[in-house]
Amino acid sequence: MPKRAKADRIRVGVVGRGRGRTFMHQAAAAGMELVAIGDCGRSVWRRRQAVRHRTYTDYDAFLAHDLDAVVLANYFHEYAPFAIKALRAGKT
């Protein structure tokens, strides 16, 4: 993967559509580009609300998306396995 210039935005994916909603709305202000949403919930309505971004229900497919970093906004007791997989996939 080619290295990005410093002026380029960090391409970020958010896990946890409900809890990550605030970050999703503020990503651009933080110099990031929201490119993917990981939504493990069963709500089809919520996934349809995210039509501007690629939404995944499979975490491995989510990690395969062209993104630089992952924001974990799921429940805290679920962080460790998600974080370990993200780091192993080269996401920060």
pLDDT in tens, the chain (92 residues): 455 554 588 999 999 877 788 888 889 898 999 999 887 655 554 545 555 677 888 889 999 999 999 999 988 888 899 999 999 999 98
- What count of other Cβ atoms lies within 10 Å of the Cβ of residue 14? 28
Q: Dig out the tokens for 3 from the structure.
A: 């290295």
pLDDT at 45: 45
pLDDT at 2: 55
For the chain, domain boundaries: 10-88
Residue 82 DSSP SS3: helix
- DSSP 8-state assignment for residue 41: S
Instruction: Give the integer Cα–Cα distance in Å for 92 and 60.
Output: 15
pLDDT at 77: 87
Enter the CATH code of domain 10-88. Answer: 3.40.50.720
pLDDT at 64: 94
pLDDT at 51: 53
